[in-house]
Every structure is written in structure tokens, then in C-alpha cells.
Chains A and B, each alone.
Chain A
Amino acid sequence: MPLSLALSRRQRARVFRGVQYAVLLLAIAAFALVADWGTLREAFFDVDVARALFPEIITTALVNTAFYALLGFGFGLGLGLVLAMMRLSSVPPYRWLAIAYIEFFRGIPALLVFISLGFGVPLAFEVALDMNVTVMLSLGLVGAAYMAETIRAGIQAVPKGQWEAARSLGMSPGRAMVSIVMPQAFRIVLPPLTNELILLTKDSSLVYLLGLSLGQFELANFGRDALNEHKSLTPILIAGLLYLVITLPLGHLVRRLEARTAKAR
């Protein structure tokens, strides 16, 4: 009689789980034996290299990353709001324009926008855009397309009765929007907008393309530069961890906000 038949279903599940743990432990053990710990440690966590990165990797790179992300986010939010309003307009051409914009910028790689603004526009129009303006536009133009859709969905998620109640009290469309609909939509869109900020934080690494001066380095650029200098992966690892310093708390915030919204329903 085969072994499996002699076991109950629960016993079989326990055996199966045991096997899974055994495989995992074996894999870890094998990796620990095979891996060249000395080289790995040197490549990824060279204490001397790490020490040399500070404090600039914080005071310049991390700060610039956050600054670029916020720059793009601020511009994108403003433009996204306008696009959302156009998208909901009763004037069809406004709707068409907004839809065209949103579909276009959601459909193309952000990289292309960076190249266009960073190199294309200066070459074609012979204008030198300010670095911060270039970053703001590059990150914001794409971000706005996503945020416009988020905001539109948020506005539409506010029950129609709210709008009707506001208008019935004599509020103008603008007043009803600002005092009644927007505050409620804002609560609904806060979690997805925070998510957008996380994405922009990561996308800010594309600034790397623009050929920055030292003081303008953000995390990816800074890491890359230090990698060349020290021939070590340590800067990259630390840059990655510093992204997490921004994105993990924001992600936590998103989950808290979502839980709060779910409770309020």
C-alpha cells in the first residue's frame, strides 16, 4: 500500500509543507556554501565606500530625488486637475482634448518625454530650458495623465445626490464643486494619488539622462557616479535602500488611507 494512501488529508498537507521547508533550507544552505562571501561583501557592502558616500548621498541625492518627485507631482496634480475638469466638461471639444492627452501620455514611455524635453526641444527650438523646469515638465506631463483619470474617477464616485443637494441650496456649479464635491473626491483619491507620488519618486531616476551637474544629482545618478569612482556596487545598494526610505512609508500611508476610506463607507 502506497504511503500517501495511509495518511489522512491533513497529515498529507503537513508532510507537503514539511517538504517545502526542507527544500527552502537546502537552497539557502547551498547558496551559503557556494557563494563567495568575501567578494560579495566587498562588492555590495564595502564599509569604506559606504562611508565615503555620506553625507552627500543624503543631503544632495536623497533631497534632490524628493525635490524632483514633488516638483513633477505638483505640476502633474495641477495639470491633472484641469484635465479632469475638461474630461467632465459638457463641452465636447474639451472632453476630446483631455481624452487625447490622457491616452497619448499614458501610452508612451516616460523616457521618450525626458529625451524630447531634455534634448529635442533645446535642439529644435534653440532654447535652453531650466533644469528644474525640464524635470517638472518631464515628470509632470506623464503624471498628469494618470492623475487626471484618478481625479475624474474620484469626482464621479461622489454620489450625484451631493451635487443635487448643493445646487438645490442655490450653489453655483463652481461653488458646489469646490465646497461639496471636491472635498469628498479628495478623500477618495488620496490613496491613489499617494501611489502616484511613489511612482514619480522612482521615475525621477530618469533625470539621470539629462546630464546633470554634481549638485543636481539625485539618487540614481549619484549611485552611478559613485559606482564608477569606487568600482563597487555598494553605492547602488545604498541608493536603492534610500529609495525605500521614501517609498515604504508612503506605501504604508496608502494602506492606512485605504483602510480609513473603507471604514468610512
Chain B
Amino acid sequence: MKAGKEPASPEQACQSGQSGQSGQSGQSGQAGQAGQAGQAIEVQDLHKAFGDLEVLKGIDFSVGRGEVVCVIGPSGSGKSTLLRCVNLLEEPTSGTVTVAGTEVTDPDVDIDRVRRRIGMVFQSFNLFPHLTALENLTIAQRRVLRRGKEEANRVARRNLRRVGLSEKEAAYPAQLSGGQQQRVAIARALSMDPELMLFDEPTSALDPELVGDVLAVMRSLAREGMTMLVVTHEMSFAREVADRVVFMDGGVIVEQGTPDRVVGDPQHERTRTFLARVLDPAAAEVGEVPDVGPHTKRVDR
């Protein structure tokens, strides 16, 4: 049984990212219809197999504009694959994915055009090592959006300031700490003026003391009303920032809802088992969610 069959409707009112109290309430009329103007992401009956290995087994969910959705779940449950299906880094086996009214799974769609509107932040940063921080932010603006040098630089500097790295514009990625690299990567995505952002465990490859800076940037993004789909193991972040938390296991959505419900009062045994492993049980009892730090420290290559 899948909670995903009754997808939580995004509340149009939750732009602030704070009021996400009623992830399951009302407006169910909208759910399930592709191309709804109000949805930033709409996923229907998504299946993905690698050869014989079925990784996603029918995912239905949506993300409303301005909504912040965190995806949690054990390793191998298909979180990254789901995220990568949204911007078609992985080709879904079946099902539809609609981003801001454009069905990306339509074979005729110009995927490059859609991807411009979707910022993606990777676990392993993936900055371009042969370019400076500033050039990392300008290259796609210039080559893809065809912005002039002046404008591209202006946008890039604004976004470097936004992530607190103005003074690093001339540095190459190798000269930056992991946390700084990840913030540059976020700024790079922001420089394309995306309508929504995807984050795949953005802090998992970082030393614990560098996680905070990156989360702070993401927090302020959420506050500014950016639509965000975040795969994370940072439960405190999910609790504080997410409008909705989606728990995945074995290629299906087991349950989803407000952070207080999913993290604080999980309905399913599998969710409870997972959370017990991720969270310090003692702290969980008194309702405190400790910052668990990077859950798995490894870099996807």
C-alpha cells in the first residue's frame, strides 16, 4: 500500500515554507492531473528499471510551486533515481513526469530547454575544475542562455554574494573547501534563474563542520520561496524547512506528509525502523531531533 496514491496536495498558501501543517488536507481535486499550472513537479506512475533491477515501482507525487519537499529513505531505495528522472538524467521506463506544465517524458520535448529551468545540485558538487568559480557560473549563462558577458558576470557575482563567496570568484574548485564548492555549485544552478531546484544529498560528502554553511544557504533559498526537492539525511533540516517529507523504501513512497507527521509520528513500521536508525532514539523521545550530520560519507562518481 502506498501513501503516494493519495498525493499530498501542495498548499498554495505555504510560500513562506513555515506553514506546512496540512500536507494531506484539501484540494485533492488537483492531484493526478498532469500539467496543472499550480504544480512545479508532477510525477505519475513512474517506473524505472536498470536491466532486470526495478528501482522505481510506481511513484506518484507532486511538488507545488514554492513548496519544499524532502525525500528520505534508506540507501538504495531509489531517491537519487527519482530525482534524476525529474530532469531526465535517467530515462524513466514508464510513467510521466511533468515539470512546470511541460511533460518532460514526452519524446518530442526539447529536454535542454526544460533543464535550463531546473537547477540541480549533486552530492559530489561536480564543479568544472578547469574554470574559476565565476566562470563556472557564467559558462552556461553565456552558452545556453546566450547572455552577454556583462550580464552573465553581473548575475554570477550576485549569486556568489548570495552564497557568501564573493571573494572567491577567481578561485578554481581545487582551491575551495568542500562546503565552498557546494555553495558555488548552488550559485551556479541559481545563475540560470531556475524555477525549481533539485538537491541530491548536497551535504553528504562534506565534513561535519562544513555542513552548516550549505544548509544555511538552502534555508535562505527556501525562505525566498524557491521550489525545492531535496534528498537528504539531515533530519533537522527536513523538520525545520520542509513543507512535506516523503519517505521512500524499496522503490515506492511509503508515506508522506508534514515533517511533524512523518518524522515525528510515523505511521508505518518501515518508516519507524528507518528513523530509529538515523535518529538518536533518546533524543527522539523528548521530541528533539539531533543534527545527525552526514549519514553516508561517500562521493558518487
Q: Could you list which residues of chain A lie within 8 angstroms of chain B, going by C-beta atoms?
A: 159-162, 164-172, 175, 179-180, 183-184, 187, 264
In the assembly, what is the distance between CA of A183 and CA of B136, in Å? 14
B277: A residues at CB distance < 8 A? none
A170 and B140 contact, CB distance less than 8 A: yes
Task: Give CA–CA (A170, B144) in the complex, Å.
Answer: 7
Determine whether the beta carbon of B301 is less than 8 Å from that of A160: yes
For this complex, into which size category does the number of interface residues on chain B fall? 20 to 34
Residues of A within 8 A of B143 (CB): 171, 175, 179
Mark interface residues in B114-140 (1 if CB within 8 Å of A CB, else 0). Answer: 011011101010111110000000011
A165 vs B130: C-alpha distance when bound (angstroms): 14
A164-B128 in contact given A172-B112, A175-B143 (Cβ < 8 Å): no
Q: Given A160-B301, A161-B300, A187-B130, is A168 in contact with B112 using a C-beta cutoff of 8 Å?
A: no
Question: In this assembly, does B284 line the interface, its C-beta being within 8 Å of a C-beta of chain A?
Answer: no
Residues of A close to B139: CB separation below 8 A: 169, 179-180
Question: Which residues from A are CB-within-8-Å of B87?
Answer: 168
Q: Are A171 and B130 in contact (CB under 8 A)?
A: no
Q: Is the CB of A161 within 8 A of B122?
A: yes
List 30 interface pairs A-B (beta carbons < 8 Å), by A numbering: A161-B126, A162-B126, A162-B128, A164-B89, A164-B122, A165-B120, A165-B127, A165-B185, A166-B128, A166-B140, A167-B89, A167-B112, A168-B89, A168-B115, A168-B118, A168-B119, A168-B189, A169-B116, A169-B140, A169-B144, A169-B188, A169-B189, A170-B112, A170-B113, A171-B140, A171-B144, A172-B112, A179-B139, A180-B128, A264-B129
Contacts of A168 in B (CB 8 A): 87, 89, 115, 118-120, 189
User: Which single member of A161, A162, A171, A264 contacts B112 (CB below 8 Å)?
Assistant: A171
Give the nearest-CB partner of B141 in chain A: A169
| CA–CA, A184 and B115, complex, Å | 23
Which of B113, B174, B192, B301 sits near A169, CB closer than 8 Å?
B192
**CB-based A-B contact count at 8 angstroms:** 65
Which A residues are CB-close (under 8 A) to B189?
A: 168-169
- Measured between beta carbons, the chain B residues less than 8 angstroms from A175 are 143-144
CB <8 Å contact, A161 and B144: no
Q: Are B116 and A170 in contact (CB under 8 A)?
A: yes
CA distance A159 to B125 in the complex (A): 12
Give the contacting residue for B124; candidates A161, A166, A187; CB below 8 A. Answer: A161
In the complex, what's the smallest C-beta–C-beta distance from B299 to chain A, in angstroms? 9
Docked CA distance A172–B129 (Å): 20
A165 CB contacts on chain B under 8 angstroms: 120, 122, 126-128, 185
Q: Do A164 and B126 touch (CB < 8 A)?
A: yes
Residue of B120, B143, B144, B145 contacting most chain A CB atoms (<10 Å): B143
- Most chain B C-beta atoms within 10 Å of own C-beta, residue among A166, A167, A169: A169
Closest chain-A Cβ to B141's Cβ sits at a distance in Å of 9
Nearest Cβ in chain B — how far from A36, in angstroms?
59
Closest to A160 in B: B301
- Tell whether, in the assembled complex, residue A183 and residue B192 are in contact, meaning their CB atoms are under 8 Å apart: no
Alpha-carbon distance between A165 and B300 when the two chains are bound, in angstroms: 13
Instruction: Tell me the chain B residues, 4-61 only, with Cβ under 8 Å from chain A.
Output: none
- Nearest A-chain residue to B300, judged by Cβ: A161
**Contact partners of A184 in chain B: CB under 8 A:** 128-130
Q: Which residues of B contact A169 (CB under 8 A)?
A: 115-116, 139-140, 144, 188-189, 192
Question: Of B120, B127, B128, which is in contact with the most chain A CB atoms at under 10 Å from its CB?
Answer: B128
Bound CA–CA A167/B116 (angstroms): 9
Measured CA separation A159–B299 after assembly (Å): 12
What B residues does A172 contact at CB under 8 A?
Answer: 112
Chain A, Cβ-Cβ closest to B185: A165
Cα(A183)–Cα(B139), bound, Å: 13
Q: Which residues of A contact B126 (CB under 8 A)?
A: 159, 161-162, 164-165
Interface residues as binary, B179-221 with A (CB distance below 8 Å gives 1, 0 otherwise): 0000001001100100000000000000000000000000000
